[in-house]
A and B are shown apart, each in its own frame.
Chain A
Amino acid sequence: MEQTISSNNSVLKVNGLKKYFPVRRGFFQRIGGWIKAVDGVAFEIEQAKTLGLVGESGCGKSTVARLILKLLEADAGQIAYRGRDISKSSEKDIKPLRKEMQIVFQDPYGSLNPRMTAGQSIEEGLRISGVPGKKRKERIDRLLNMVGMSYGSADRYPHEFSGGQRQRIGIARALSVEPSLIICDEPISALDVSIQAQIINLLKDLQDELGLSYLFISHDLNVVGYLSDQVAVMYLGHIMEYSRTAELFENPLHPYTLALLSSVPVPEPGQKLRMQSLKGDVPSALDPPPGCKFQGRCTLVEEQCRNQEIDFYDAGEGHMVRCWKVVKK
């Protein structure tokens, strides 16, 4: 049933995506270096499927989300939405496509306008998609109902809601333009565990109901494992490993993925961690080491890792990995 990575059923295909931020120094604001926030990211999301994007803080996950939505301009690479490259399109050309891709944010407090009621926030989307004024109220109620909110919520302000309720409103706003892809930028990491589960199940139900595709960004491997069909592990602007979820969890090839998986808490008391945790910090993206980006923290590091840049390697059945060790095997 589950296919390999490449297929014709793709909603979004990203290839060689790059974003470098200049670092300006001194009195004349000369460019002193580049932060390679996203450095050659490639993945594909299929219709009604979920891609989980995992990684530590600062590895470029959110930048990827903003690049796909064209909120930031990509420096290189293609972003193909249903086969159409939008990476070079101007703001005017992209406008009709804005409806197709929506975002749900991490912070439920900052993602809703404090001076607009929940209904008004959602109405902005309905206005964009050309719903006539008379029908909007009914649609707002339906959208709110869809995300599990009561009818009275439409004319309330965000400060009257709890974090989980706000996140639901954020999802309803994203749904208001009837998108086919929703980018969830850590939508649950600011919520309580019990509320997290509610939101995850809501997202899953909406996917079944509306045939949505998700790019689910998170640092919680359990959640990603539960929601995703495919997982991409990101480190310092690179995708280190990319595979079907079950394959990745059962047979992780990259040492970084292994370390991440071993850091997931196991809900069984007394069980020891199988691997030692990672040592050191993520190196600065301003001055990344040559060769493999992970070399500084890898336990299996070799001479080749330090010098030679590594490309994606297909370890079979579309299990892509970026590690010399795997290539040698």
Chain B
Amino acid sequence: MTKVEKIEINDYQTTNHEFLAPRRTRLKEFWHLFKQNRLAIAGLVIFVLFFITALAGLFLTSGHDPVFDPALVRLQEKLRSPFSQPKIDTLMPHEIPTVGVYVMGTDDLGRDVFARMLQGAWVSLTVGFVAVGISVFVGIFMGGIAGYFGQNHIRLDHILMVCLLFAAGIFIAMGEFFSGSAFLIVFLASVLLLFRSMNKMEMRGMSKWYGILKKDTISIDTLIMRIVDIMLCFPSFFLILTVVALLPASIYNIMIIIGLTSWMGTTRFVRAEFLSLREQDFVTAARALGVGNFRIIFRHMMPNAIAPVLVSATIGIATAILTEAGLSFLGFGVPPPHATWGNILSDGKRFIFDAPWLTFIPGIAILIVVLCFNLFGEGLRDTLNPKLKERH
């Protein structure tokens, strides 16, 4: 029969510094690949310039005595073309433009378009970032739950409890605090009961009604992904129009609404990534070590799932800026005294033959910013693609 072979080898401690590969962090490698993409670099440069402009715009156009006053009306100087000299003799000293000329002309009320563009840049930037921030936050949360806990089933008693909470919320919102708080008390009682029964298994024998309550319905994954499908069914721009028509017009409402109607893509990305990451050995190892669920999700899995989210977020910023401009153009956006690129464009369309700069300047600005975000996003996607040839 086969002998048990004795394996003879030299000492296993062969790993020295010489055996380690030269140091190259992920960031360095990323930058090395990213800078080969010229268009993406151009996108990044314009993005940084836009960021600085918007930030400068915020400080230069706001406050008690702004450097550039976007709201200053000079009716005698209306519809002046770009780089035209102001007629000094007709103006009050504080009405003279700060740089000496009207860099981007004036509009039909004689307001300085350059100052208004600066003010609008900050609106576009914040709308883009806050809206995408909201959508990424919701998307990661929903996608993470669907991907990690997705196989768990929702029980009948969970649905009943959510119904109770909803009923309580509706009653309180209607002003009937008595019935509302009654529902709330029933809800809290059933939550307590649920936690108690999780620890004690003997509740099983209580009654058959209890068994019916414990019946599994659909899985969490199915529920979340069907909600995503339903949300995607609505044409989002018209959904936003409807909601904006019902709510008071304000820049914050616009941000929140754009954010809450664009999280579906992120959810799908994160869920797909989580489904594949969940089965990886390093996640199993973390579970075997006894790492908690939330630490596994946020410390172990999220950094591996974030790359496609980052890409879609960058492109999402462009979409959000465009949506805000569209809403402002239609008159549903940020209310008039405050300038945004969309409502400068909208105001200018009546004078498109007399003062074409009123439409072209904001139009081209929107075009460039949206384009640079798209180019940057696509560059990111190409660079982060693990199947990229130059990587190996």
Give A residues with C-beta under 8 Å from B: 66, 69, 71, 95, 98-99, 101-103, 105, 107, 110-116, 121, 124-125, 128, 148-150, 152-153, 156-157, 160-162, 165, 168, 170, 173-174, 176-177, 194, 197-202, 205, 221-223, 225-226, 245-246, 249-252, 261-262, 264, 266-267
Q: Name the residue of chain A whose CB is nearest to the CB of B26.
A: A157
Q: Name the residue of chain A whose CB is nearest to the CB of B306.
A: A115
When the two chains form their complex, are residues A99 and B290 in contact, meaning their CB atoms are under 8 A apart?
yes
When the two chains form their complex, are residues B289 and A124 in contact, meaning their CB atoms are under 8 A apart?
yes
Q: Name the residue of chain B whose CB is nearest to the CB of A120.
A: B299
Instruction: Evaluate whether A128 and B284 lie within 8 angstroms (CB atoms) in the complex, with A152-B17, A160-B20, A245-B4 already known.
Output: no
When the two chains form their complex, are residues A124 and B9 in contact, meaning their CB atoms are under 8 A apart?
no
Q: Name the residue of chain B whose CB is nearest to the CB of A203.
A: B12
When the two chains form their complex, are residues B304 and A114 in contact, meaning their CB atoms are under 8 A apart?
yes
When the two chains form their complex, are residues B9 and A198 in contact, meaning their CB atoms are under 8 A apart?
yes
Q: Could you tell me the dominant secondary structure of chain B's interface residues?
A: loop
B226 at the interface (CB under 8 A from A): no
Q: What distance in Å separates the Cβ of A282 from its nearest Cβ neighbour in chain B?
A: 22
When the two chains form their complex, are residues B9 and A194 in contact, meaning their CB atoms are under 8 A apart?
yes
In the assembled complex, which residues on chain A have CB atoms less than 8 Å from the CB atom of B23? 156, 160
When the two chains form their complex, are residues A111 and B304 in contact, meaning their CB atoms are under 8 A apart?
no
In the assembled complex, which residues on chain A have CB atoms less than 8 Å from the CB atom of B9? 194, 197-198, 201
Q: Which of B25, B280, B304 has the largest count of A CB atoms less than 10 A from its CB?
A: B280
Q: In the complex, what distance in Å separates the CA atom of A247 from the CA atom of B14?
A: 35
When the two chains form their complex, are residues A249 and B15 in contact, meaning their CB atoms are under 8 A apart?
no
Q: In the complex, what distance in Å separates the CA atom of A165 from the CA atom of B304?
A: 22
Instruction: Evaluate whether A115 and B284 lie within 8 angstroms (CB atoms) in the complex, with A153-B20, A198-B9, A200-B7 already known.
Output: no
In the assembled complex, which residues on chain B have CB atoms less than 8 Å from the CB atom of A71? 284, 287-288
When the two chains form their complex, are residues A165 and B1 in contact, meaning their CB atoms are under 8 A apart?
no
Q: Count CB-based A-B contacts (< 8 Å).
A: 123
Instruction: Evaluate whether A110 and B1 lie within 8 angstroms (CB atoms) in the complex, with A98-B289, A148-B14 already known.
Output: no
Q: What distance in Å separates the Cβ of B128 from its nearest Cβ neighbour in chain A?
A: 27
When the two chains form their complex, are residues B15 and A165 in contact, meaning their CB atoms are under 8 A apart?
yes
Instruction: Evaluate whether A198 and B12 lie within 8 angstroms (CB atoms) in the complex, with A98-B290, A156-B20 already known.
Output: yes
Q: In the complex, what distance in Å separates the CA atom of A150 from the CA atom of B18?
A: 10
Instruction: Evaluate whether A111 and B285 lie within 8 angstroms (CB atoms) in the complex, with A128-B291, A161-B20, A226-B5 already known.
Output: yes
When the two chains form their complex, are residues A225 and B290 in contact, meaning their CB atoms are under 8 A apart?
no
When the two chains form their complex, are residues A69 and B288 in contact, meaning their CB atoms are under 8 A apart?
yes
Q: What distance in Å separates the Cβ of A104 from its nearest Cβ neighbour in chain B?
A: 9
Q: What distance in Å separates the Cβ of B291 from its nearest Cβ neighbour in chain A?
A: 6
When the two chains form their complex, are residues B285 and A115 in contact, meaning their CB atoms are under 8 A apart?
no
B6 at the interface (CB under 8 A from A): yes
When the two chains form their complex, are residues B284 and A250 in contact, meaning their CB atoms are under 8 A apart?
no
Q: List CB contacts (< 8 Å) of B22-36 with chain A.
A: 23-26
When the two chains form their complex, are residues A197 and B281 in contact, meaning their CB atoms are under 8 A apart?
no
29 A-B pairs (CB sep. < 8 Å)? A95-B290, A98-B288, A101-B288, A102-B288, A102-B289, A103-B285, A103-B288, A105-B281, A110-B281, A110-B282, A116-B303, A121-B282, A124-B286, A148-B15, A149-B15, A150-B15, A152-B17, A156-B20, A156-B23, A173-B289, A174-B285, A197-B9, A226-B4, A226-B6, A226-B7, A245-B4, A249-B2, A261-B2, A264-B2
In the assembled complex, which residues on chain A have CB atoms less than 8 Å from the CB atom of B17? 150, 152
When the two chains form their complex, are residues B20 and A107 in contact, meaning their CB atoms are under 8 A apart?
no
B300 at the interface (CB under 8 A from A): yes
Instruction: Evaluate whether A128 and B20 lie within 8 angstroms (CB atoms) in the complex, with A198-B12, A250-B1, A266-B2 already known.
Output: no
Q: Name the residue of chain B whose CB is nearest to the CB of A223.
A: B7
B207 at the interface (CB under 8 A from A): no
In the assembled complex, which residues on chain A have CB atoms less than 8 Å from the CB atom of B25? 157
Q: Name the residue of chain B whose CB is nearest to the CB of A173.
A: B285
Q: In the complex, what distance in Å separates the CA atom of A165 from the CA atom of B6?
A: 24
Q: What distance in Å separates the Cβ of B78 from its nearest Cβ neighbour in chain A?
A: 58
Q: In the complex, what distance in Å separates the CA atom of A99 from the CA atom of B289?
A: 6
Instruction: Evaluate whether A249 and B4 lie within 8 angstroms (CB atoms) in the complex, with A148-B14, A199-B12, A201-B12 already known.
Output: yes
In the assembled complex, which residues on chain A have CB atoms less than 8 Å from the CB atom of B287? 71
In the assembled complex, which residues on chain A have CB atoms less than 8 Å from the CB atom of B280? 110
B99 at the interface (CB under 8 A from A): no
- Known pairs A170-B285, A177-B290, A197-B12. 7 more at Cβ < 8 A? A124-B289, A152-B20, A177-B289, A197-B9, A205-B12, A221-B2, A222-B7
In the assembled complex, which residues on chain A have CB atoms less than 8 Å from the CB atom of B286? 113, 124
In the assembled complex, which residues on chain A have CB atoms less than 8 Å from the CB atom of B3? 249
Q: Which of B286, B290, B300 has the largest count of A CB atoms less than 10 A from its CB?
A: B290
In the assembled complex, which residues on chain A have CB atoms less than 8 Å from the CB atom of B4? 222, 225-226, 245-246, 249
